[in-house]
C-alpha cells in the first residue's frame, strides 16, 4: 500500500484531461477553481506557525518597550520626588535673590541738564573801578588798599567779573533787603534758564537742595524758591549753610541719596554764594583776600532717577567721594569766619591753606583712586605703598596718573595758587586745568557753583564726547575735599543760554602768573 505523499499537488497533473473522455466546459472551469483553493489551503497551513508568531513577537516587543518606558518614567518620578525639596528651595532662592538684587541695586542718577547764571553786563567790575570803590568806602587804610590791589593783579581774575548790584553803590548797601535781592536775582535767573531749556512739570520736582555758605535768612533760600515757583507741598526741601565752596558736591550727594529712596521724581540742586553782606571792610590782611577773589554766580542742576530720562540726559553720576579733615585743628581753622579787633566780620584764610588742601586732596584721591583708576595704576600705587610702609624704603609716594581715568577735570576755581598746586601735584597738562583757569578769569571765584561754570566751558568748546568721564573736585571750609565723577551719555552740546556763549570765542586767554 502506497504511503501518502507530503509533496504539494502537481498543477500540471491536476490540469491533465483525458483525451478519450469527453468533458464539458463548465466542469473544466470548476476543476480549475478547486485546484487553486486546494493550493491556497496548502500554503496557508504550511505557514500557519509563522503567521501566528509574527503578531505575538510584535506584541511582545511593544510590551517590553512599554515596560522600559514605564520604568524610566517611574525612576524619573522617584528622582524628582526625592529631590523635590531641593528643587523648590533652589527655585525660591533664585527668585528671592533676584528680587533682593533688583531692590538693593542703586538707582542710576541722571543729570538731565543744568544752568549757570550770567549776570547782566552792567554788573561787570574792572580792576580800576573796583579799587576806586574800595577807596571811596573810607574803611581801608593805604596799606590795605595796596595789598588788595597786589592780590587782585595776581589772582588770575580778568576785567569782566561781576559783583552784586548793592556793591555798585557808594556807600555799599549791606542791608538784609539788598542781600535778599541778590539771592533772588541769581537763583531765579539760573532756574528760569533751566526751565526754559528743559520742559518738565513743576509738580514733578520732589526734592530741592540749596546750598549757600554765608547767607541763611529766615524763611530759608529753599523756601524762597518754593514760594516763587509754587512747588508742591510735600517736596523734600533742604537748605545747607556754612559748608564752604565744596558744598555743591555735598548737595549733589544729598540729592543722590534722596533720589535712591524716592522713586520716579526729579531733584533740583541750587549752589550759590551771597556777597552783599559778606565783604570785609577792615584792615586785617588775612581777611582781605576774599574781597579780591569772590564774585557773583549761581548754578542749578536737574537730577532724575527716571529710566525714561536716560535718552535726554547729559550725564550719569558714577561716584561721589567726600573727605572731611575737621578733626585736625589746623585744617578746621584754615578758612574761618571771625571778627577782627575792631569787631568787623570777615573770612580769614590761613597761611597753611595750601598745605591743608594738599593733605585733604591726598586723602580724597586715595579713596577715589581704586574706584576709577586702571588696574595697572592701582597695582603701582599699592606696591609703592608697601615698599614705603613695610620695607621703610626712602622713595617718594607714587601719585597715580589720573589722566588715564578722566577725560576732563574741573578744579574748583578758588584762586590761581590752588589751581597751580593741583596742576603740579597731579601732573596735569595745561589742557586739563584750562577750564578752571578760564573760569577764574571770566567769572572769578563763584564758590560752590564754579565747577559748573567750568563744565559749561568744556561743553562750549564742544569737547565732551560720549562716554567721556568728568572729574569735579572742590575744596571748602571745615576743611573738606569732595569729588564727583560723571559719565557723558552722548556727545554733549552746550545748552541754550550757556554762560560762555558771548565770550567763548575769546578763550583761552593768557593769564598773568
> What are the pLDDT digits (tens) for 267-318?
999 999 999 999 999 999 999 999 999 999 999 999 999 999 999 999 999 9
Residue that wins the pLDDT comparison between 481 and 74:
481
> Considering 324, 325, 334, 498, which one is annotated as catalytic?
324
> Considering 211, 441, 482, 498, which one is annotated as catalytic?
441
> Considering 116, 211, 212, 245, which one is annotated as catalytic?
245
Q: Which residues of 402-432 are buried (b: 16+ CB within 10 A; e: fewer)?
A: beebbbbbbbbbbbbebbebbbeebebeeeb
- Residue 146 · residue 329 · CB < 8 Å: no
Among 127, 202, 218, 413, residue whose Cα is nearest residue 297: 413
Mean pLDDT estimate for the chain: 86
245 as an active site residue: the answer is yes
441 as an active site residue: the answer is yes
> Considering 211, 291, 364, 445, which one is annotated as catalytic?
445
Non-local (6+) Cβ contacts of 181 within 8 A are: 165, 166, 276
User: Of the ranges 45-54, 180-189, 247-256, 296-305, which one carries the lowest mean pLDDT score?
Assistant: 45-54
122 as an active site residue: the answer is no
> Considering 291, 298, 364, 408, which one is annotated as catalytic?
408
Q: Considering Cα of 390, then 395, then 397, then 398, what sign does the dihedral take?
A: negative
The confidence score (pLDDT) of residue 159 equals 94
d(CA 471, CA 491): 17
408 as an active site residue: the answer is yes
At 363-410, the pLDDT tens digits run 999 899 889 998 888 888 788 878 877 777 677 777 788 889 999 999
- Angle, CA 249 vertex, CA 246 and CA 255 arms, to 5°: 140
> Considering 278, 410, 412, 498, which one is annotated as catalytic?
412
Tally Cβ neighbours within 10 Å of residue 72.
10
83 as an active site residue: the answer is no
At 81-131, the pLDDT tens digits run 556 666 677 778 788 777 776 666 678 999 999 999 999 999 999 999 999
Cell numbers at residue 371, please? 574706584
Cell numbers at residue 173, please? 548797601
3-state secondary structure of 48: helix
Task: Please report, in angstroms and rounded to a whole number, the separation of the first and last CA atoms in the chain.
Answer: 149
The confidence score (pLDDT) of residue 513 equals 57
The confidence score (pLDDT) of residue 97 equals 76
**What percent of the chain shows pLDDT beyond 70?**
82
The confidence score (pLDDT) of residue 12 equals 43
Amino acid at each position: 500500500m502506497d504511503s501518502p505523499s507530503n509533496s504539494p499537488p502537481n498543477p500540471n497533473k491536476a490540469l491533465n484531461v483525458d483525451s478519450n473522455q469527453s468533458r464539458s466546459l463548465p466542469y473544466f472551469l470548476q476543476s480549475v477553481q478547486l485546484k487553486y483553493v486546494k493550493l491556497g489551503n496548502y500554503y496557508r497551513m504550511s505557514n500557519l506557525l509563522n503567521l501566528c508568531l509574527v503578531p505575538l513577537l510584535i506584541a511582545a516587543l511593544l510590551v517590553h518597550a512599554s515596560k522600559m518606558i514605564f520604568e524610566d518614567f517611574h525612576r524619573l518620578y522617584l528622582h524628582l520626588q526625592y529631590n523635590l525639596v531641593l528643587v523648590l528651595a533652589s527655585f525660591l532662592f533664585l527668585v528671592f535673590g533676584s528680587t533682593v538684587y533688583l531692590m538693593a541695586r542703586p538707582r542710576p542718577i541722571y543729570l538731565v541738564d543744568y544752568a549757570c547764571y550770567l549776570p547782566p553786563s552792567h554788573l561787570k567790575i574792572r580792576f580800576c573801578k573796583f579799587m576806586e570803590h574800595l577807596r571811596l568806602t573810607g574803611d581801608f587804610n593805604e596799606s590795605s588798599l595796596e595789598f588788595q590791589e597786589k592780590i587782585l593783579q595776581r589772582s588770575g581774575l580778568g576785567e569782566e567779573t561781576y559783583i552784586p548790584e548793592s556793591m555798585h553803590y557808594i556807600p555799599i548797601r549791606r542791608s538784609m533787603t539788598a542781600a535778599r535781592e541778590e539771592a533772588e536775582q541769581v537763583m531765579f535767573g539760573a532756574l528760569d534758564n533751566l526751565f526754559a531749556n528743559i520742559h518738565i512739570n513743576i509738580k514733578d520736582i520732589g526734592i530741592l537742595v540749596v546750598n549757600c555758605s554765608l547767607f541763611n535768612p529766615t524763611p530759608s533760600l529753599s523756601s524762597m524758591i518754593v514760594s516763587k515757583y509754587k512747588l508742591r507741598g510735600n517736596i523734600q526741601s533742604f537748605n545747607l549753610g556754612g559748608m564752604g565752596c565744596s558744598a555743591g558736591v555735598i548737595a549733589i550727594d544729598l540729592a543722590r541719596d534722596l533720589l535712591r529712596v524716592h522713586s520716579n521724581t526729579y531733584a533740583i540742586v541750587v549752589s550759590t554764594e551771597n556777597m552783599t553782606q559778606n565783604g570785609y571792610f577792615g584792615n586785617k590782611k588775612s581777611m582781605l583776600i576774599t574781597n579780591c577773589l569772590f564774585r557773583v554766580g549761581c548754578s542749578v542742576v536737574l537730577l532724575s532717577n527716571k529710566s525714561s530720562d536716560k535718552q535726554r540726559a547729559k550725564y550719569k553720576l558714577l561716584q561721589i567721594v567726600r573727605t572731611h579733615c575737621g578733626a585736625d585743628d589746623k585744617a578746621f581753622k584754615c578758612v574761618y569766619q571771625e571778627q577782627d579787633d575792631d569787631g568787623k566780620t570777615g573770612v580769614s584764610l590761613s597761611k597753611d591753606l595750601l598745605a591743608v588742601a594738599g593733605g585733604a586732596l591726598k586723602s580724597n584721591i586715595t579713596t577715589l583712586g581704586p574706584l576709577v583708576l586702571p588696574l595697572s595704576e592701582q597695582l603701582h600705587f599699592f606696591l609703592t605703598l608697601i615698599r614705603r610702609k613695610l620695607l621703610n624704603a626712602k622713595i617718594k609716594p607714587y601719585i597715580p596718573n589720573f589722566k588715564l581715568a578722566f577725560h576732563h577735570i574741573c578744579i574748583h576755581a578758588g584762586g590761581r595758587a590752588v589751581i597751580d598746586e593741583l596742576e603740579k601735584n597731579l601732573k596735569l597738562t595745561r589742557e586739563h586745568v584750562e577750564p578752571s583757569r578760564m573760569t577764574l578769569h571770566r567769572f572769578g571765584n563763584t564758590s560752590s557753583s564754579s565747577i559748573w561754570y567750568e563744565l559749561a566751558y568744556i561743553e562750549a568748546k564742544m569737547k565732551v564726547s560720549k562716554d567721556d568721564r568728568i572729574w569735579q573736585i572742590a575744596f571748602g571750609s571745615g576743611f573738606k575735599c569732595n569729588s564727583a565723577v560723571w559719565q557723558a551719555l552722548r556727545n554733549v552740546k552746550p545748552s541754550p543760554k550757556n554762560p560762555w556763549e558771548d565770550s567763548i570765542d575769546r578763550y583761552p586767554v593768557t593769564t598773568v602768573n
